[in-house]
């Protein structure tokens, strides 16, 4: 496999692992396993959903 393709594959693998971790964290928040997420986490979630943090905690 050419080096450029290898690098692309490795970057994609890394991104998949990052997304898995984020999904795991979101699931913990949704299920209550993380009862009090940090405000910075809530800000990122709200931004991703295009809502205000207040909308998440109602």
| Separation between Cα atoms, residue 12 and residue 8, nearest integer Å | 6
pLDDT of 19 > 80? The answer is yes
pLDDT band at 58 (very low <50, low <70, confident <90, very high): confident
- Give this prediction's pTM: 0.67
pLDDT of 1 > 80? The answer is no
pLDDT of 46 > 80? The answer is yes
Angle subtended by helix axes 3-31 and 39-49, to nearest 10: 110
pLDDT of 14 > 90? The answer is yes
pLDDT of 29 > 80? The answer is yes
Percent of the chain with pLDDT over 70: 100
């Amino acid at each position: 496999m050419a080096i450029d393709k290898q690098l692309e594959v490795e970057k994609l693998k890394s991104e998949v692992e990052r997304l898995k971790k984020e999904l795991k964290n979101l699931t913990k928040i949704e299920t209550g396993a993380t009862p009090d997420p940090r405000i910075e986490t809530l800000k990122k979630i709200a931004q991703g959903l295009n809502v205000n943090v207040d909308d998440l905690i109602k």
